[in-house]
Structure 1
Amino acid sequence: MKFNTPDGLPSSLPRPPGELERLERAWETPKGWRLLSAVNNSQIGVFYIATALLFFVLAGVLGLMMRAQLALPDNTLLSAQTYNQVFTMHGTVMMFLFAVPVVEAIAVYLLPGMLGARDLPFPRLSAYAFWAYAIGGIAFFCTIFFGVSPDGGWFMYPPLTGKEHSPGLGADFWLLGIGFIEISAIAGAIELIIGILFTRAPGMTLGKMPVYAWAMLVTAFMIVFAFPAIIAGTLLLELERAFDWPFFIAARGGDPVLWQHLFWFFGHPEVYIIFLPAAGMVSMMVPAMARTPLVGHRAIVIALVAVGFISFALWAHHMFTAGLSRHAMLFVSAASFAVAIPSAVQVFSWIATFWKGRVQMTAPTLFLLGFHFIFVLGGLTGIMVAVLPFDWQVHDTYFIVAHLHYVLIGGMVFPVFAGLYYWTPVFNGHRLSERCARWVFGLMFGGFNLAFFPMHISGLLGMPRRVYTYAGDLGWNLLNLLSSVGSLILALGVLLFFIDAARVVFKKKVEHGDLWNAPTLEWLPQEDYGMRSIPQVESREPLWDSPKLAAEVVAGRHWLPGTHSGGRETLVTSWRDAVPQHLLVLPGDSWWPFIAAAGTAGFFLLLTVSQVVVAFACGITAIVAIVVWLWQTDTPPHALTAEVADGVFLPVGARGTASHSWWAMIILLCVDATVFASLVFAHVHVSMAADVCPPPGASLPDVFWPLASSGLLLAGSAAMISAQALLARGRCTPVWLLVLLAVVCLLTAFGLDGWGQQLAGLSPTAHAWSATVAAMSAWQGFHVAVLLIMGLYVCARVWTGKLRSDARASLDNTALLWHYVTVQGLAGMGIIYLMPLL
């Protein structure tokens, strides 16, 4: 075993008999229909990638329908209503069901191997995130076959998507369906953050971490802070449609521009959420194809972080014609220029690496070169639309359509296809056809440029987006015909790729080896359990710098060569220096994530069609499944310590801030706080737009009610602190009494606050100001319901003797959420009372 021995060499001690067999048995893949219960990243990742590619194909078919309609002037192939549904579904499926999920899917599949971990730290959460996405996404797409799909554009701007102008169910399917699919993306982001920070191989410091892991870490944090805004926006718009709360109705104090702020605070960072993982993949493939280390590794990492920060200053990049103030537009315009600098740093680094090395002209290289050409052109047009006068001229024209596709297809689809050619051997040991790849690349590259470059010109000639037909005397005929022919050629390239992929992926699995002579750990021999032993990492390019590493890992000479508990395990290491901290026992395969995901999807989708009873039955099923799933995995450690190397022992499990679940709760609270901040922003926006605050007909509750509520919230948090202190001293019996006391305080506090608002006569339907107050209260009420379930869960753990000082995660994590809800309640009441004074 390789650790800090005097000579720095791995141990050559023989492995115990039966060790490998026990490891294989613990990680055995379920067979047949039971494969749906798998939670291992090697299965979930494949499901995830395949489903995302399915949505790519479906969205592409919709795109071909659009181009067929626009190929000729005055075409009647599609009606205006059908075309609106088709282009809405095309954009929605591409952005929400393909672009973000596919980058998370590839990360779920690749990162454990790349980091030297056996799996991600929450395998059942990964399974839940995938099945919620797959079931909900497929059900949402099927709405197009019944004529009830949304038709308001993938951006869903009110008032066109309000009940008055969109009375059907299409907008509701978008709001509820996409809303909970975003929850799936957030769950995946939490999994990736904890996995990257805490399950890296020993010795893989942050400085030695692969660039792709850095890209996914930045991306996951961006998801945590960007996606809650769209969740808040969809909640508000659905409340307006369902209950007539007028957040976006100007006649009753609302503002349609509020939706644009919430949507684009998510929407423009999403462009970089899509691009950064692709850039990370490029930074992994370029050195392998050039056979030389990446030029400017540290500069690229800094550039990734810089892009992540600057992207949040760009949310109004698409709102230059929405009536913003001059200072706001100048700030966003400057940020739009600034973000080009760290993006260019990465591009120049890749070019320098190609220039320095000896490039292999293989399939991945072709797609990487195509990516450079297309993405740079898309970046240049992005700089153009950052110039305010130019943007005012081309806004909502086909110039923007062309720019969007050059950035997204060039910046993400071409790197993803390069990655599919590069990493397919990791799946089953077989490469895709190099000869076929040249045809695929030629058709895709040529077809893409023929399809989208003419759109720049048609946009400059004045062709607006989202029109289903046009007159034949406007000078756009040839340009549209070329775009339609190009889209067909692009589609033929994609079709040829999938034909070749189908030929390869069903072949019998063989050992893949390091086919590209790549430098990173995912090319070590791997099975369902990952590597035979977790390697000690000494450099950024471990396979180049340690030629014997593969043989040592296969021989079990590094960390954790077997299973101590008989189950699935991995190492938890320190977040900065990757020093082993403790052994983490991972949950095995289970049906509960699948059942919980199906129940979640059923709840949201059935609510859309007003099947309230069945919807709530699905919701209860989901809650029960999650509780059972948590009960199974929340178990005391099987032993105090475990031997993870010859003569090296580590604790089994951890408590408090050393626990991975504690940090996952912290990240979840960041998501939660961002949703709440979005609701607060809505309240502040509406308040500042009102002539008088509160507006006529609305008044603040008497100050007694919020003061009494605040006191009870603080009392509940104090009870939870006392419960934690008692458990730390080994006194478990009084814990449940204190938890129940906290529950009573919380329920009473929420009731008093609501009663005060009722006495004040606040009516959410009367004015947007009252509606935003009600929305913040409803969000607090949702948390009260969640804490009620969690409090009873903790009590049940005490009553069954499963809550102990060495198995206390359920109490610690519940207390974290409890304190957050207290702070959220105090902040909400304070903001409601402070805004009229400001």
Structure 2
Amino acid sequence: MIGGVFTLGALYAGGVDTGWTFYTPFSTMFSHSNVIIAVAGVFIVGFSSILTGLNFIVTVHTMRAPGMTWFRLPLFVWANYATSIILVLATPVLAMTLALLVAERVLHVGIFDPALGGDPLLFQHLFWFYSHPAVYIMVLPAMGVASEIIPCFARKRIFGYRFMAYAILGIASIGFLVWGHHMFVSGQSMYASMVFSLLSFLVAIPSAIKVFNWTATLYKGRITFSAPMLYALGFVGLFTIGGLAGLTLASLALDVHLTDTYYVIAHFHYIMVGGTVMAYLGGVHFWWPKMTGRTYPEMLGRVAALIIFFGFNLTFFPQYLLGLEGMPRRYHTYPPEFQVLNVLSSAGASILAVGYLLPFCYLIWSLFYGKRAGPNPWRATGLEWQTSSPPPKHNFEHMPVVRRDAYQYDPETGDEAPQ
């Protein structure tokens, strides 16, 4: 997210050579590119995140339907609520950090520049205090999407609803305390690194709760392997692999060897691309009939989900092996002994591209030629499925009243439980 904003800023600023992190002292002492203009753009764009988070928080607090208590909220709403808290609390820190960078560059105040008495590690602390929670800004909504899809296609109520809601809040809270694991080899205090290592292991607990509860929801369910379900299951699998790799990187001794290798590349992509993008594609397929009033070719949806899952693993799993063998990232050449794994990774990327292209094609096709979808083609229990597809203006003709908990499926038939 930040990298994209910085790239956009660089486009209009005429180029920035600091990298997406804007690390000091290079960005304050040595860079002669358009740093200030790019930083100003990022500073302004940050307000969109803050205001969006504030909008969601106020909406959840004040505009719930009658009967929609806190523990009747869909987990997707819980996930976006927690994400909004991160946006409101973390983004101002990034804004202040960039403002300090500009102040040092223009006024020559010693904040980060060691030549002026500043501390370059301070910039890294402030930067990663935002940038690690930014990962959860993208992952938490994906978890919410999976929590909507899995109960629907398992025809079961989500296992441990309250634990799932508290786990979402736990991930958002602990996520603010682990930024230092990005700095194990930066020169920060060894004692600080030990604390950040422990906290990084701790954040795995609420994440594990969610994986275990999704798995328990599937147990003895009436599972239908529709396209949204395949995407959601792919998310759970890839997120689990990426999360286990994260525990490896949270270990101080291992991280020293693995930092700046392709192991980090693989870990990041298993979480942010394999996991998150797959969940978002599942959400697009799940709510597509509701948004457009049209259905897509179900078989093509399933094929695309399987191609993406296979192509992603072929692309990035070899990079775990490359990282373990010490291949560094950000180098345009590599020793010949890494050739086979790199070729496999490139082949996987080609397959992955086909998988991403397929949904783009058949979803566009479905807008014009897809069959008409009824109000509830998945027989789901969410409130959004109780109105027409696509919904009318303001979503409902009359204010709905909520009289049941979320995900109430009949344990015998798998249909919506009676009132």
TM-score (norm 1): 0.47
| Alignment check: 8 A CA contact 2:156 2:217 kept | yes
Residue 487 and residue 312 in structure 1: after superposition, are their counterparts in 2 closer, same or farther (change >3 A)?
Answer: same
| Alignment check: 8 A CA contact 1:450 1:482 kept | yes
Any stretches of 5+ residues in structure 1 without a counterpart?
A: 1-89, 98-136, 550-838
Give 1:371's aligned residue.
235
Question: Per-residue CA shift, 1:666-688, capped at 9, x if unaligned?
Answer: xxxxxxxxxxxxxxxxxxxxxxx
Q: How does 1:133-148 map to 2 (within 5 A)?
A: 140=9, 142-143=11-12, 148=14
d(CA) in 2 for partners of 1:377, 1:548: 35
Give 1:265's aligned residue.
129
| Alignment check: 8 A CA contact 1:215 1:280 kept | yes
Question: Per-residue CA shift, 1:52-84, capped at 9, x if unaligned?
Answer: xxxxxxxxxxxxxxxxxxxxxxxxxxxxxxxxx
Query: Quick check: which has more Rg, 1 or 2?
Result: 1
Residue 536 (structure 1) aligned with residue 401 (structure 2): yes
Residue 531 of structure 1 aligns with an amino acid whose one-letter code is F
d(CA) in 1 for partners of 2:373, 2:306: 31
Residue 295 of structure 2 aligns with an amino acid whose one-letter code is R
Q: How does 1:346-745 map to 2 (within 5 A)?
A: 346-467=210-331, 469-473=332-336, 475-506=337-368, 512-525=374-387, 526-541=391-406
Any stretches of 5+ residues in structure 2 without a counterpart?
A: none
Instruction: Give the CA deviation at 1:234.
Output: 1.3
Residue 333 and residue 168 in structure 1: after superposition, are their counterparts in 2 closer, same or farther (change >3 A)?
Answer: same
d(CA) in 2 for partners of 1:448, 1:155: 26
Instruction: Give the CA deviation at 1:435.
Output: 1.6
Report the 3-state secondary structure (helix = DSSP H, G, I; strand = E; otherwise coil) of the residue aligned with 1:162: helix
Give 1:581's aligned residue.
none
Instruction: Give the CA deviation at 1:480.
Output: 2.0
d(CA) in 2 for partners of 1:481, 1:496: 23
Question: Per-residue CA shift, 1:101-128, capped at 9, x if unaligned?
Answer: xxxxxxxxxxxxxxxxxxxxxxxxxxxx
d(CA) in 1 for partners of 2:125, 2:49: 21
Residue 395 of structure 2 aligns with an amino acid whose one-letter code is G
Report the 3-state secondary structure (helix = DSSP H, G, I; strand = E; otherwise coil) of the residue aligned with 1:305: helix
Residue 379 and residue 503 in structure 1: after superposition, are their counterparts in 2 closer, same or farther (change >3 A)?
Answer: same
Residue 297 and residue 446 in structure 1: after superposition, are their counterparts in 2 closer, same or farther (change >3 A)?
Answer: same
d(CA) in 1 for partners of 2:19, 2:213: 37
Residue 216 and residue 478 in structure 1: after superposition, are their counterparts in 2 closer, same or farther (change >3 A)?
Answer: same
Instruction: Give the CA deviation at 1:151.
Output: 3.6
| Alignment check: 8 A CA contact 1:428 1:509 kept | no
d(CA) in 2 for partners of 1:142, 1:172: 13
Question: Per-residue CA shift, 1:371-407, capped at 9, x if unaligned?
Answer: 1211111011100011101001111111111111111
Residue 500 and residue 140 in structure 1: after superposition, are their counterparts in 2 closer, same or farther (change >3 A)?
Answer: farther
d(CA) in 2 for partners of 1:480, 1:547: 49
Residue 248 and residue 483 in structure 1: after superposition, are their counterparts in 2 closer, same or farther (change >3 A)?
Answer: same
d(CA) in 2 for partners of 1:298, 1:315: 27
Q: Determine which of 158, 161, 173 is the counterpart of 2:27.
A: 161
d(CA) in 1 for partners of 2:172, 2:226: 31
Instruction: Give the CA deviation at 1:544.
Output: 5.6
Instruction: Give the CA deviation at 1:141.
Output: 7.2
d(CA) in 2 for partners of 1:492, 1:354: 29
Instruction: Give the CA deviation at 1:501.
Output: 1.8
Instruction: Give the CA deviation at 1:509.
Output: 10
Give 2:18's aligned residue.
152
d(CA) in 2 for partners of 1:238, 1:375: 37
d(CA) in 2 for partners of 1:284, 1:453: 28
d(CA) in 2 for partners of 1:156, 1:398: 22
d(CA) in 2 for partners of 1:511, 1:470: 51
Q: How does 1:22-41 map to 2 (within 5 A)?
A: none
| Alignment check: 8 A CA contact 1:150 1:173 kept | no
Root-mean-square deviation (CA, aligned residues, Å) is: 2.5
Instruction: Give the CA deviation at 1:447.
Output: 1.6
Instruction: Give the CA deviation at 1:323.
Output: 1.6
Residue 188 (structure 1) aligned with residue 99 (structure 2): no
Give 1:176's aligned residue.
40
| Alignment check: 8 A CA contact 1:443 1:490 kept | yes
Instruction: Give the CA deviation at 1:247.
Output: 2.2
Instruction: Give the CA deviation at 1:162.
Output: 2.7
Instruction: Give the CA deviation at 1:520.
Output: 0.7
| Alignment check: 8 A CA contact 1:281 1:419 kept | yes
Question: Per-residue CA shift, 1:712-769, capped at 9, x if unaligned?
Answer: xxxxxxxxxxxxxxxxxxxxxxxxxxxxxxxxxxxxxxxxxxxxxxxxxxxxxxxxxx
| Alignment check: 8 A CA contact 1:428 1:507 kept | no
| Alignment check: 8 A CA contact 1:428 1:510 kept | no
d(CA) in 2 for partners of 1:392, 1:360: 44
d(CA) in 2 for partners of 1:433, 1:149: 44
Instruction: Give the CA deviation at 1:512.
Output: 3.5
Number of matched pairs: 412
Residue 512 and residue 458 in structure 1: after superposition, are their counterparts in 2 closer, same or farther (change >3 A)?
Answer: same
